[in-house]
Amino acid sequence: MNDYEIWFACAKLSYNIKNKLINKFKNVQNIWYYSTHDEKCTYINEKIKNALLYAWNKEKIKSIKDNIEKNNINVVTITDELYPKALKEYDDSPYMLFYKGDIDRLNKNKSVSIVGSRDCSSYGVNITNIICNDLSKNNINIISGMARGIDSIAHKKCIENNSYTCAVLGSGIDVIYPRENKNVYDEIIKNGCVISQFLPGTKPYAYNFPIRNKIISGLSEVVVVIEGSEKSGTLITASSALEQGKDVIAVPGNVFSKQSKGTNKLIKDGAYIFTEMKDIYEILNMNYIKNSFNNNSKMTSIEDKVYNKINTTPIHFDEVLRLTNIDIKQLYEVLFELQLKDEIMCLSGNYYVRNNKTV
């Protein structure tokens, strides 16, 4: 890392313009020369030249370098081999990424992004744990944003399994947000990676997160959406994924739940629907091998109550509702979780039956 690279990263230019300059001039030293010494260079207009000249601040460049060295921050540029190959496909990818941990793994294994509500339900928590447990045990990278709620749950499940997860921050790499995730941050670095496109010291401004979301979706083959209201940042990530040509798969939720309105709308608009782990593996073009987790996972007391009302003879949802006297919203969630655990099957007409293996 040299002064020219930091200078170019500091320039107030769009990622698209920066990448065009790199493609034209091959390296930042050449960009510096042609923007400051060659008045005949018509490729770099006055507006771009002014932005580049304004960014040359030796004091600021030195401060950033000192911060990087002091905090053991790693740096990779879009011309480096270590730079995530998935991001190189886009014209608007960041010129520079700051990271801690193992970034190279992103170029070696398949990746799935997990996004969802900060204010998630127990249903969202359970499904996130089930999905991330299975994917991580099959050596699939889990990408998320280290926010409260679904993001944190996804990262924690990977940490629990000693598997790889990558957190993409909406702040500088040295600014942990939310602060309560300091331990999560430290644990991720041990086996995974924390990434930021923002200069060290950058605060978690609200406008950073939609920009950050493009990296979350860009790093993965599939984006899994687990809960989100209709106007949540989760749907911004889903939109970014679709713009990038990524597949989006949404977890259906109860129609009465605010957290599920966004995911249900995605499904209505054409996103893949998640009903079992096999759905994700099919999109990844991978053979699905069930983990023992699905078979041995203990049922909660309420799951056990519902499960005991279902037998080898199909029973209608309304009858299960009557026999269990459980809130309709909660019953839908429990039935879905039992299907994920491979304990029951849903038949046409809203009938349920025990899976053959459990009889």
pLDDT at residue 357 in the model: 60
Residue 34's alpha-carbon distances to 7, 10, 37, 64, 322, in angstroms, are 15, 18, 6, 24, 77
Flag whether pLDDT at 43 surpasses 50.
yes
pTM: 0.85
Cα(129)–Cα(156) distance, integer angstroms: 9
Q: What is the pLDDT of residues 307-335, one digit of tens each?
A: 999 998 999 999 999 999 998 888 988 89
* Structure-model confidence comparison of residues 299 and 175, the more confident one: 175
Flag whether pLDDT at 359 surpasses 50.
no
Q: What is the pLDDT of residues 280-296, one digit of tens each?
A: 999 999 988 765 444 44
Give Cβ neighbours of residue 337 (< 8 Å, ≥ 6 apart): 123, 126, 127, 130, 303
- Please give the mean pLDDT across all residues of the chain: 91
Domains of the chain: 3-70 (no CATH), 104-293 (3.40.50.450), 298-358 (1.10.10.10)
Flag whether pLDDT at 65 surpasses 50.
yes
Share of the chain above pLDDT 90, in %: 74
pLDDT at residue 358 in the model: 44
Q: What is the pLDDT of residues 81-100, one digit of tens each?
A: 999 999 999 999 999 999 99
Mean pLDDT of 179-204: 97
pLDDT at residue 148 in the model: 95
Mean pLDDT of 237-259: 91
Q: Which tokens in the block code for residue 87?
A: 């991001």
At 1, the pLDDT band (50, 70, 90 cuts) reads confident
pLDDT at residue 352 in the model: 92
